[in-house]
Amino acid sequence: MLRRRSKAVKRTSEHRRSILSEMAQIMYGNAGIGLAAPQVGINERMIVADIGGGLYKLINPRIVKRQGHQVTQEGCLSVPDVCIKIKRAKKVAVRAEDENGKPLTIKAQDLLACVLQHEIDHLDGKLIVDYASLFQRIKIRRKIEKMKEGACDEKLRKSETKSCKLQL
């Protein structure tokens, strides 16, 4: 699901509003600041984000303008204990619909711009590991294999998680 391009939402409904609310609760419950529908097994173009200034519930978001750049170390709720430096636009304009189907444009910068780009990447089947170098990907693959085997040192996992400021 995480590697597939999500389908556009044709119309809003009470069911989709409920999904967006549940996504927000999952995001908050995992100390995240963004979450995309594919991360919860739904192949539709919906995201939620909250960096502390209020909750955004967006349907069919798309980036219509990018400006500048910033490099941020990002983590992801779908790829636990992995942090990668990613170069993204410093400012973006995003067009979407709110949970009631009303069109809106968000002009975001800095952290909110980063979060929106990260979550829209999920809608396009892209993960943070896609930004990693070949060497980083090999290390990440080994780490995930060790975690699956249960051999990952808990202290190492906690220290790496703390070092990654953004858990999206």
State the catalytic residues: 119
Question: H/E element holding 106?
Answer: strand 103-109
Q: Would you say 108 and 120 are in contact if contact means Cβ atoms under 8 Å apart? A: no
Tokens read off for 72: 């941020």
Tokens read off for 106: 């968000």
Q: Would you say 76 and 36 are in contact if contact means Cβ atoms under 8 Å apart? A: no
Tokens read off for 167: 């858990």
